[in-house]
């Protein structure tokens, strides 16, 4: 095997290795340590739950901001709005 063929063989092996690493979701950090890039089902469900919780908190915050900035002096209306928020949870 001449040197040119050896270089080509090394490049092919390295390329196939990189493709397989990408296919199976294995990455490397700056120090060369392997880590899994893919998220498992538990992490995905946890992320979805946290997104839903964040969306609900944003909705509640929007309602509270609206209540705080309104010029309505009626305490009864404010009580009704707060009770609606409590019923949502």
The pLDDT tens digits for 8-35 are 999 999 999 988 888 877 777 777 777 7
Question: What average pLDDT does range 59-80 have in this prediction?
Answer: 76
The answer on pLDDT for 74 being more than 70 is no
* Residues of the domain holding 29: 3-88
Q: Coil, strand or helix: which one is 75?
A: helix
The per-residue pLDDT for 42 is 77
The answer on pLDDT for 39 being more than 70 is no
The answer on pLDDT for 6 being more than 70 is yes
Average pLDDT over the chain reads 82
What values do phi and psi take at 28, rounded to 5? -130, 140
DSSP H helices, the chain, are 3-23, 41-69, 75-88
The domain tally of the chain equals: 1
- pTM tops 0.85, yes or no: no
**How far is it, in rounded angstroms, from Cα 53 to Cα 38?**
23
């Amino acid at each position: 095997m001449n040197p040119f063929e050896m270089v080509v063989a090394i490049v092919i092996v390295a390329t196939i290795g990189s493709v397989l690493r990408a296919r199976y979701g294995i990455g490397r950090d700056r120090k060369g340590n392997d880590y899994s890039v893919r998220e498992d089902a538990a992490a995905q469900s946890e992320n979805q739950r946290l997104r839903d919780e964040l969306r609900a908190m944003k909705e509640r915050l929007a309602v509270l901001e609206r209540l705080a900035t309104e010029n309505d002096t009626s305490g009864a209306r404010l009580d009704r709005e707060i009770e609606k928020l409590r019923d949502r949870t």
